[in-house]
């Protein structure tokens, strides 16, 4: 018996995916026309992107560093799994640990250079929580 059959078959799995997609679409912000106008004027979305030329470089670096930090944390978890499974030699473990520590130090340095903290990189995804897991 396959895993799909144990859970109710492919039709149940499709229904679960459809329900998850429906929940996700309910989380999307409303389009300007969907919002009720309170005073007769055209309604505007609650959040707007501010394109300030003075902060473009910092905002772009924040986005790039957020992605790099996410990947760094994923690589760190994968490395810990490999160490726990015994897939690496002692030398490989040392080299991997040193590389991850160096990457973390460089991330901290780049954050400082652009006036960011590591907490600034943890984007708030609203009802989904934060992008990065809390520090251990």
Q: Which two tokens stand for residue 133?
A: 């897991």
Q: Is the Cβ–Cβ distance between 103 and 109 less than 8 Å?
A: no
Q: Determine the Cα–Cα distance for residues 104 and 115; give it in Å rounded to an integer.
A: 16
pTM: 0.56
3 or 111: whose pLDDT is higher? 111
User: Highest-confidence range of 14-18, 35-39, 61-65, by mean pLDDT?
Assistant: 61-65
């Amino acid at each position: 018996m396959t895993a799909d059959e144990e859970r109710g078959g492919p039709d149940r799995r499709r229904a679960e995916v459809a329900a998850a997609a429906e929940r996700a679409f309910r989380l999307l912000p409303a389009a300007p026309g969907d919002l009720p106008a309170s005073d007769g004027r055209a309604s505007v979305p609650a959040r707007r992107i501010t394109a300030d030329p003075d902060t473009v470089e910092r905002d772009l670096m924040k986005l790039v560093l957020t992605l790099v930090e996410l990947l760094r944390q994923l690589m760190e978890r994968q490395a810990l799994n490999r160490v726990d499974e015994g897939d690496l030699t002692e030398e490989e473990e040392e080299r991997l640990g040193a590389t991850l520590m160096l990457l973390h130090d460089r991330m901290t340095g780049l954050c400082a250079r652009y006036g960011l903290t590591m907490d600034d990189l943890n984007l708030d995804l609203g009802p989904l929580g934060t992008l990065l897991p809390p520090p251990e």
